[in-house]
Amino acid sequence: MSSAERYRALRGVQDILPPEIFIWQKVEEVAKDVFSAYGFQEIRPPIIEVTDIFTRSIGENTDIVEKEMYTFSDKAGRSITLRPEGTAPFVRCYVQNCLYNLPSPQKFFYSGPMFRYERPQKGRFRQFYHIGVEALGISDPKIDAEILSMLRFLLERLGLEGLTFEVNSIGCEKCRPDYRKALLNFFSGRINGFCPDCKRRYELNPLRILDCKVKECIKLRVGSPRVTDFLCKDCREHFDALLSLLRLLDFPYVINPDMVRGLDYYTRTTFEVTSKQLGAQNAVAAGGRYDRLVEEFGGPPTPAIGFAIGIERIVELLKSSDKLEILAPKVFIATIGASAEKEGLLIANKLRERGIWVEISYAAHSLRSQLRRADRLSAKYVLIMGDDEVSSRKLKWKRLSDGTQGEIAIDKVLEFFNK
């Protein structure tokens, strides 16, 4: 280490390196694959937006907006924010590009980094990655069920097990105020027993009291009104229809009436997928309906539903369950002498043009040390070539796993490795 201070990545952000990057690539590939089977197409909105987009949609009193956003002024004095989540920018993009004129449902997905200024912990970073999915134009619960089963299918395809799928309905702008009133009424006599956080929640966002993990608060909320008992007729029907579709699809859901969403824009269906193998940050995917948001962004009334999955949490699960595929070169070309070196370079090029991973030696090392390097790289085959081989136009191949070797004509090398 030098005496100069070395640079390091900012707190809460990370470099993603091999071999872990291969899991990331797999997750992205499988997701793209599954989404296209359901007709979802990729879009790539920008990472920065005007700050208002987030404050208006996520809600002024949420933690995200109050203290977690990366916000700065650009050179023209506009307030700009690095996106803390994907749905609000998506809706801006949807309205701006008049995507509602496409035949409905319009189905899109996107992936990329999100930013929140939080204290890092297991499964929580300041720059974290989401794959998000949005379906618009359909209010029928069939699309809710489709989205959920697509999510389940994706997680299954990735080989994940032991996940819990929680669903709930938090009603609409018609029924939620009644529920809120009932909650406040129920809790008003118990407020003194609450933890300080819940006392604060009582004022700001009483629904969040349902989420508290403090034992006293859990006791005090026994028998509290349930959101599902306050749904209006339309929301009730929507939720019931969704549940019967899920049963039809043999979807292993659990109703969690205490599940509340932190963002203001949600309506009706909300859901969350959790794993017990993660730490406190146990959600691997979550989402819900946001039937009012497009209109609020100046578009036509457009029902919508979406979810996002947290890539690093999926990767975390796969790291412990997956046997990592070891990537290794197929061929190492070991040469002795200048003419063999040139010949070897030509062979390497031909093989590489066919997409075969070939490594060569970059200095005139002894054959021993070249073989040792091939071994350390876990190369499958070594091609050995010296003056004799060049003049006879034949070279030796050796399979490192069992040490077998043989001879092959130089112009047959392509066929040998092409299969």
Q: Which stretch binds RNA (CB under 7 A): 47-55, 114-122, 152-160, 408-416?
A: 114-122
Is residue 398 within the footprint of RNA (CB under 7 A)? yes
Q: Smallest distance from the beta carbon of 3 to RNA, in angstroms?
A: 6
Q: Which is nearer to RNA, 75 or 376 (CB)?
A: 376
Q: Which is nearer to RNA, 2 or 101 (CB)?
A: 2
Q: Smallest distance from the beta carbon of 154 to RNA, in angstroms?
A: 14
One DSSP character per residue, 221-288 reads TTTPPPGGGS--HHHHHHHHHHHHHHHHTT--EEE-TT---SSTT-EEEEEEEEETTS-S--EEEEEE
Question: Among residue numbers 250 through 289, which ones bind RNA (CB under 7 A)?
Answer: 261-263, 279-281, 283-288
Nearest by Cα to 382 from 348, 411, 349, 352: 348
Q: Which is nearer to RNA, 13 or 98 (CB)?
A: 13
Residue of 375, 411, 412, 415 that binds RNA (CB under 7 A): 375
Query: What does residue 248 show for φ and ψ, rounded to 5 degrees?
Result: -55, -40
Q: Which is nearer to RNA, 106 or 111 (CB)?
A: 111
Nearest by Cα to 335 from 362, 303, 305, 301: 362
Residue of 32, 208, 226, 330 that binds RNA (CB under 7 A): 208
Is residue 400 within the footprint of RNA (CB under 7 A)? yes
Is residue 213 within the footprint of RNA (CB under 7 A)? yes
What is the distance of C-alpha 236 from the center of its chain? 31
Q: Tell me the HSE value of 349 on the side-chain side, using a 13 A CA sphere.
A: 6
Is residue 366 within the footprint of RNA (CB under 7 A)? yes
Question: Among residue numbers 67 through 106, which ones bind RNA (CB under 7 A)?
Answer: 68, 85, 87
Query: What does residue 155 show for φ and ψ, rounded to 5 degrees?
Result: -65, -35
Q: How many angstroms separate the CA atoms of 117 and 391, rounded?
A: 66
Is residue 227 within the footprint of RNA (CB under 7 A)? no
Contacts with RNA: how many residues (CB under 7 A)? 72
Is residue 139 within the footprint of RNA (CB under 7 A)? no
The dihedral through the CA atoms of 41, 44, 45, 48 has a sign that is: positive
| 211, 147 contact by CB (below 8 A) | no
Residue of 371, 381, 413, 417 that binds RNA (CB under 7 A): 371
